[in-house]
Structure 1
Amino acid sequence: MPKRAKWLLSSTLLISIFVFGTAFAPFSLANDAATPPAVKEEMWVLSLPIPMLAYVARPLGNGPFPLVVMNHGESSDATARGFFPKVEFKDAALWFARRGYFVVSPIRPGFGITAVDLPSEGHHSIYLGDIGKCTDVNFRDPGIAIATSVQWVIDYMIKERIALPKGVVVVGQSGGGWGSLALSSKNPNAVRAIINFAGGRGGHVDGKPHNNCAPDKLVEAAGEFGRAARTPTLWIYTQNDSYFGPALSQRMYDAYKGGGGNVEFHLLPAFGGDGHFFVDSPDAIPIWAPIVTQFLNANK
């Protein structure tokens, strides 16, 4: 593993690290006493075609390790993207790390400190997830763009001999789940399995629950991904998902499978106030962990 510099967690330095593209620089997130003995949490800067900040949860030691890449959700609101947390699904990431996986959760371009979007001042952020307007929506291409960024992460981690060259697991939620399904259509050699929690795009139009942008086109795009996909995928949705309800997730699954996609689908009972955020909750781990474990054991 290449030598890495340690950095202080100050906003100014964080920005300077990102801008100047340090190869990859981890710094501790948590007090050592609060960190589980077998797992280390860090923030890294990944030297990719577009550099990305990433949360890392990993076993101790130098590896190489089996890799999990976790992909966060989306927002069409640049201000909301600017306040994006350093990590989503921390408990889920730690669950994988405690089972020997090296978990990387990259913050995509256009989120966090890279979400500067002031058109009136001539400043525009790079944002991979733009689906356009509902009258002329494009679900496929932003999915492929996110998938490409995931492939960058995988290639980088393997090149640096941090990750094993095979057996990668890709996990995503909401827009990140959609990007993960787009990746399945590329059948990357290093990836053995993809896990989609509540994946999709175009939910909550105008901020309204159960109000979807061009759902027929979303289903059509799912079918397109499925026609090319042979990588095993696991889909987990809930009955009370206000973004992609049971009828829509079923249609997406039917289209993906009908196209030839390799998919296992689970529609779980209602969870919390909105099951769309199921994977965010530590209380959900006992529900999804057995499903994920069985799926991964069946797809080694």
Structure 2
Amino acid sequence: MTPTNCSSETAQWFLGQGYAVMFVLRLGYGATGGPWTETFGTCDDADYYHAGLETARQIRAMVAYAPKIEDIDASDIIVVGHSAGGWGTLAFNSMPHPTVGTVINMAAGRGGYQGAPNVTCQPERLVEAARRYGETATAPMLWIYARNDHFFGPSLAQEMYDAYTAGDDEVQFEHVGSFGEDGHQLFFARGGSRIWGPLIETYLGD
């Protein structure tokens, strides 16, 4: 894997809103090297909860590094995570994060697409882990999923949301229409910002 570059549509949208953008590869991805520590184990005994906490640990390291970058105002950081990174944002938000004012989940989950669309290892464990994260959530969130997400389809996304919020309306859930051949790619795909951009802009404005 390689980081998305600054000329990408995703980066340009946030830059256009006046934000500095930092793309970081977590341990074990691409040229970052090191051990891949985010495994959830086997499909038969998936531990999504602790896998997400490890992703969150690495997100916290990235957030801690941001103030060291010259000319960066790190007083109000936005953390956006996609897919496994999005799952990490749920775990991250279960911990205190005083410099992060906004947390956004784009198509979060783990264990999806096991040989075919919407086949997930132990989906009930994914829902249970989401519930545990939500019990100690420290800030509102925005969740965005496409209806034709081949990794985490509408019913599973809704179950995770319901478990995470447990009736708390501070988490905004946006289930957008189908996008391309697989809506799981919405965040980084060409044309995707026309869909998620206005949602994030409105959310940040609120």
TM-score of the pair, normalised by structure 2: 0.93
In the TM superposition, residue 190 of structure 1 has moved relative to its aligned partner by 0.5
Find the residue that maps to 2:23 and give its secondary structure. Answer: strand
Structure 1 gaps of 5+ residues are 1-83, 116-124
Does 244-253 or 100-109 show the bigger shift? 100-109
Amino acid paired to 1:196: N
Aligned counterpart, 1:128? 37
Find the residue that maps to 1:106 and give its secondary structure. Answer: coil
- Specify which of 10, 19, 22 is matched with residue 92 of structure 1: 10
Say if 2:138 is the partner of 1:230.
yes
Amino acid paired to 1:101: Y
Aligned counterpart, 1:212? 120
Say if 2:109 is the partner of 1:200.
yes
Say if 2:70 is the partner of 1:152.
no
Say if 2:163 is the partner of 1:246.
no
In the TM superposition, residue 128 of structure 1 has moved relative to its aligned partner by 2.6
Q: How far apart are the structure 2 equivalents of 1:259 and 1:141?
A: 24
- Specify which of 155, 158, 163 is matched with residue 255 of structure 1: 163
Q: How far apart are the structure 2 equivalents of 1:257 and 1:213?
A: 22
Cα pair distance change 1:184/1:262, threshold 3 Å: farther
* Residues 5-31 of structure 1, C-alpha deviations (whole Å, 9 max, x = no match): xxxxxxxxxxxxxxxxxxxxxxxxxxx
Aligned counterpart, 1:13? none
Find the residue that maps to 1:103 and give its secondary structure. Answer: coil
Aligned counterpart, 1:62? none
Amino acid paired to 1:295: Y
In the TM superposition, residue 160 of structure 1 has moved relative to its aligned partner by 4.5
Larger RCO (CA within 8 A; separation ≥ 6):
2
Contact kept, 8 Å, 1:224 with 1:259, in 2: the verdict is no
Aligned counterpart, 2:23? 105
Higher strand share: 1
Aligned counterpart, 1:19? none
* Residues 100-149 of structure 1, C-alpha deviations (whole Å, 9 max, x = no match): 2111110111111245xxxxxxxxx4113211002211111121111111
In the TM superposition, residue 194 of structure 1 has moved relative to its aligned partner by 0.8
Contact kept, 8 Å, 2:3 with 2:23, in 1: the verdict is no
- Specify which of 83, 89, 111 is matched with residue 174 of structure 1: 83
Q: How far apart are the structure 1 equivalents of 2:145 and 2:3?
A: 24
Cα pair distance change 1:208/1:88, threshold 3 Å: farther
Structure 2 gaps of 5+ residues are none
Percent identical pairs in the alignment equals: 37
Q: How far apart are the structure 2 equivalents of 1:277 and 1:147?
A: 22
Q: How far apart are the structure 1 equivalents of 2:73 and 2:135?
A: 28
Say if 2:184 is the partner of 1:276.
yes
In the TM superposition, residue 165 of structure 1 has moved relative to its aligned partner by 3.8
- Specify which of 98, 105, 128 is matched with residue 189 of structure 1: 98
Contact kept, 8 Å, 1:227 with 1:260, in 2: the verdict is no
In the TM superposition, residue 198 of structure 1 has moved relative to its aligned partner by 0.5
Aligned counterpart, 2:203? 295
TM-score of the pair, normalised by structure 1: 0.65
Contact kept, 8 Å, 1:218 with 1:252, in 2: the verdict is yes
Amino acid paired to 2:95: K
Q: How far apart are the structure 1 equivalents of 2:116 and 2:144?
A: 22
Find the residue that maps to 2:22 and give its secondary structure. Answer: strand
